[in-house]
Structure 1
Amino acid sequence: MADLKRIIRYVQGTIDHGLHLYPSSISTLVSYTDADWGGYPDTRRSTSGYCVFLGDNLISWSSKRQATLSKSSCEAEYRGVANVVSESLHYQRTKHIEMDILFVREKVARGEVRVLHVPSRHQIADIFTKGLLRVLFEDFRDSLSVRPPPPAFD
């Protein structure tokens, strides 16, 4: 029920919005991820969310409950990072936290990915994992290029 309330809250007032893609000369892949440790009151499972940009365009996103119970916020965050690294590099998702940590470490050591801290004010992936103040939600939604359609020309 909490999921449904969160979805309705986010969708309300945005029925006419859609994902806009724009030409971009930037070919860098940038990902944001976040996890809400133990956010489901009934199961205490965490929610992982991520968004992946190619240049200025959002190309992939996800928000879902983690399949296993995380014993710490660090474990939940590592699972979130592993999910977005897997998505970004098109690898099959790993299943255990030990594999997640090794997977991420290997990609970092090879220089294939960099894991950086992003302050909450700029953590776009928060839109997929928790309720936000309206101004922050709208700012993040705009950053994802989810906007109303442009005015029609006659």
Structure 2
Amino acid sequence: MLVYVDDIIVTGNDNALLNHTLEGLATRFSVKDHEELHYFLGVEAKRCSLGLHLNQRKYVLDLLGNTNMLGAKPVATPMATSPKLTLQSGTRLADPAEYRRIVGSLQYLAFTRPDISYAVNRLSQFMHQPSTDHWTAVKRVLRYLAVTLDHGILLTRGTNRCLHAYTDADWAGDSDDYVSTNGYIVYLGQHPISWSSKKQRSIARSSTEAEYRSVATTSIELNWICSLLKELGVSFTTPPVIYCDNIGATYLCANPIFHSRMKHVALDYHFIRNQVQSGQLCVVHVSTKNQLADAFTKSVSRAAFTSVSGCLYQLLY
């Protein structure tokens, strides 16, 4: 049972228990007659022959209507590869209120749209001092949304219980402070269930260190997901797998000799190696062209956006 203020979702595999729960709620509280899930907190849930499709189409249409962007010229990617956005680029906006409002709306939209995660993360970094260039980048995201209204997450039946994640880092990608950006996406079977694009807390001295920190962040998320699924009675026969495209970071997770060369990395990141050695986690190298998390760390070209995120777009209805 998921409760948010006065909105409630009740689900389960036992119809008798489900009805008993609904009747119990009705005896204690004043509730409306229950109905099939179709809309919850701005997220539309549609049942189709393939499964359950979650999207925010109406939310996007309202956002585009409020910004007069319904008929805007379409683009294939949410963010341009060049020039890179910086704190100094463009002319400072006289009134940043609309910029902040729209970026805030995009943050909520990213709940069902992993393809805009990096763009939203990047634009959120200029909330305090947005410029004309930043505003142009916001409008590009809206132009991208105008042609991808129906994109969302498709949950199908019979998925395997394999938990795996792709993780990546853009080393010193921010030209303002040279802090790296983490990106990861976690799958349960073929379904994306968690994703993130976020800057690291400190500057990394090497790409291996940046990637290693990204693996650490991903492993923390995997630990939480495993704990949650365990409470729900979902068990796994194999340990979760993290795919990383940096060979040095992959070796560092399991090789204590190579590990000694990275003593300057904070100790709290080294718990990854303990998990790998105990069999609770597996870190595997993957080629850069197959790294699905690449688009969560940087702005990529149209071809790369389509290629790297190919698997993701197959899951976007």
Mark yes or no: TM-score above 0.5. Answer: yes
Q: Indicate conservation of the 8 Å contact 2:163/2:189, yes or no.
A: yes
The answer to whether structure 1 residue 120 and structure 2 residue 120 are counterparts is no
The answer to whether structure 1 residue 45 and structure 2 residue 179 are counterparts is yes
Select the residue among 271, 275, 278 that pairs with 1:110.
Answer: 278
Identity %: 38
Q: Indicate conservation of the 8 Å contact 2:289/2:308, yes or no.
A: no
Q: Which stretch shifts more, 69-78 or 36-45?
A: 69-78
Q: Distance in 1 between matches of 2:211 and 2:189?
A: 24
Q: Distance in 2 between matches of 1:6 and 1:80?
A: 27
Q: Distance in 2 between matches of 1:8 and 1:109?
A: 45
CA distance 1:40–1:20, shift in 2 (3 Å): same
The answer to whether structure 1 residue 97 and structure 2 residue 266 are counterparts is yes
CA distance 1:50–1:114, shift in 2 (3 Å): same
Helix, strand or coil at the partner of 1:52: strand
Q: Distance in 1 between matches of 2:316 and 2:218?
A: 24
Q: Distance in 1 between matches of 2:188 and 2:159?
A: 10
Match for residue 215 of structure 2?
A: 81
Provide TM-score, normalisation by structure 2. 0.41
Q: What amino acid is aligned across from residue 123 of structure 1 in structure 2?
A: Q
Q: Indicate conservation of the 8 Å contact 2:295/2:308, yes or no.
A: yes
Select the residue among 132, 147, 153 that pairs with 2:316.
Answer: 147
Q: What amino acid is aligned across from residue 158 of structure 2 in structure 1?
A: S
Displacement of 1:122 after TM fit? Answer: 0.3
Q: What amino acid is aligned across from residue 83 of structure 1 in structure 2?
A: T
The answer to whether structure 1 residue 16 and structure 2 residue 185 are counterparts is no
- For each residue in 1:72-117, what CA deviation from the matched residue of structure 2 results, as whole angstroms up to 9, or x when unmatched? 11111111000110000119xxxx63221x2110010011111111
CA distance 1:86–1:121, shift in 2 (3 Å): same
Select the residue among 49, 64, 86 that pairs with 2:198.
Answer: 64
How many residue pairs get aligned? The number is 143
Q: Distance in 1 between matches of 2:171 and 2:306?
A: 23
Give the greater-gyration-radius structure (CA).
Answer: 2
Q: Distance in 2 between matches of 1:27 and 1:54?
A: 6
Q: Distance in 2 between matches of 1:90 and 1:46?
A: 24
List alignment gaps of at least 5 residues for structure 2: 1-84, 87-121, 124-136, 226-264
Q: Distance in 2 between matches of 1:103 and 1:64?
A: 21
Provide TM-score, normalisation by structure 1. 0.81
Displacement of 1:55 after TM fit? Answer: 0.4
Displacement of 1:141 after TM fit? Answer: 3.6
Q: Distance in 1 between matches of 2:140 and 2:315?
A: 16
Q: What amino acid is aligned across from residue 99 of structure 1 in structure 2?
A: D
Q: Distance in 1 between matches of 2:142 and 2:280?
A: 34
Helix, strand or coil at the partner of 1:127: helix
Q: Distance in 1 between matches of 2:295 and 2:166?
A: 11
Deviation beyond 3 Å, 4+ runs, structure 1: 5-11, 139-142
Helix, strand or coil at the partner of 2:155: coil
CA distance 1:104–1:69, shift in 2 (3 Å): same
Q: Indicate conservation of the 8 Å contact 1:45/1:65, yes or no.
A: yes
Q: Indicate conservation of the 8 Å contact 1:79/1:97, yes or no.
A: no
Q: What amino acid is aligned across from residue 40 of structure 1 in structure 2?
A: D
